Amino acid sequence: MANGGPVEHGFPHLETVRAAVTALYRRLSYDTVQLFATSVAPAEVAFCDGDDLHLGAQRVARELVRHYRLPDARMVVAFREMEHAAHVELTAGPEYFIELNDRFRTHRRDIGAALAHEIMHVYLHRLDLSFPGTRDNEILTDTATTYLGAGWLLLDAYREDGASSQKLGYLTPEEFGYVLAKRSLVFGEDPSVWFTSAQAYTAYGRGLERARHDERQPPLTAAGWAGRRRYARDRRQAQDRRAGGAGPGSPYVFAPDPVGPLRVTFPCPTCHQRIRVPVRGRVRARCGLCRTVLECDT
Ligand SMILES: [Zn+2]
Ligand SMILES: [Zn+2]
């Protein structure tokens, strides 16, 4: 887990984040994702300065192991001087060694956030789910941590005041907010009540806006007027040429079908798997991966 440096903002990793959500549904299945409907509760990972450092870290690690349903895994947490914020040795287990940066000795309230990320590495390692390259794999880890209910801790560890800033993980605060919002839209949970950091609250609001934006793209019936108009124009062009349409960056693509009607593909707003439906007005589709029912006007 990286440490320090200026805090990046916005949505620079959105494509990888979305691919991570799709990969998670593919590997875990809808039913397993549903087991994570409840987030880690603040009380389960609370860490006061009065708590014993090592006993407290072990206790929080145990809570996260339980949350992720890794019953036979044991985390051994140690502190040392290091460049990174934290590190975990990915071995066959059942014992895993996690090292936390010495600075957490005096920033105990963020130990839960650091452990949530490191223990997710173990979880993904056991699933044999990874993305090539450190950057993408860390984005997958942050996204999975957040989608499965422990990432609000990482967003809450983001604090900025005049003199200093702190952020854990590879996603920007807004991206953490985005994944958290996608999760909350699926499970009907409101994570904003858990934030202790004002900046986390703001970033969540931006992420939520972005997540709602995904749900208002044509051909979904929830799309706005401008989007629908653009869609109708692109569809006309596609029907004339029996293919293509839609400019660069468009979420939907028209695909020719030599025997049947023209089809349109677009990303599922929940899991981002591509959905394909015939172009023939009102269509109700169900995403095969995350089971979201999609009302479309194609
Ligand atoms: Zn990591
Ligand atoms: Zn889906």
The 10s digit of each residue's pLDDT in 165-216 is 778 889 999 999 999 999 999 999 999 999 999 999 999 999 999 999 999 9
Residue 246 has pLDDT above 80, yes or no: no
Q: Which ligand approaches the C-alpha of residue 122 most closely?
A: 1
What ranges in 188-271 are assigned the alpha helix state H?
198-214, 225-241
Place 296 in a pLDDT band, splitting at 50, 70 and 90.
Answer: very high
pLDDT at 168: 87
**Cβ-contact 46, 57 below 8 angstroms:** no
Place 1 in a pLDDT band, splitting at 50, 70 and 90.
Answer: low
Neighbours of ion ligand 1 (CB under 5 A): 1, 138
Distance CA 33, CA 187 (A): 10
Q: Which ligand approaches the C-alpha of residue 21 most closely?
A: 2
pLDDT at 33: 98
* SS3 (DSSP) at 247: coil
Average model confidence (pLDDT) across the chain:
92
Task: Tell me the mean pLDDT in the region 26-50.
Answer: 93
Please list the residues that pair with 240 across neighbouring strands: none
pLDDT at 3: 60
Distance CA 254, CA 294 (A): 17
* Residue 30 CA to ligand 2 centre (angstroms): 9
pLDDT at 2: 62
* Residue 221 CA to ligand 1 centre (angstroms): 39
Task: Tell me the mean pLDDT in the region 251-257.
Answer: 85
pLDDT at 245: 56
pTM (predicted TM-score): 0.94
Closest to 151 measured CA to CA, from 165, 164, 131, 170: 170
Place 38 in a pLDDT band, splitting at 50, 70 and 90.
Answer: very high
The better pLDDT of the pair 274, 159 is held by 274
List the domain boundaries for the chain: 2-214, 225-297
Closest to 204 measured CA to CA, from 236, 249, 172, 246: 172
Q: For residue 190, give the amino acid letter.
A: D
Tokens of 59: 């206790």
* Residue 26 CA to ligand 2 centre (angstroms): 10
β-pairing verdict for 95-101 and 74-80:
parallel
Q: Which ligand approaches the C-alpha of residue 269 most closely?
A: 2
| Model confidence pLDDT, tens digit, residues 124-171 | 999 999 999 999 999 999 999 999 999 999 999 998 876 677 788 899
| Model confidence pLDDT, tens digit, residues 41-52 | 999 998 877 889
Task: Tell me the mean pLDDT in the region 13-24.
Answer: 98
**Cβ-contact 190, 153 below 8 angstroms:** no
pLDDT at 50: 81
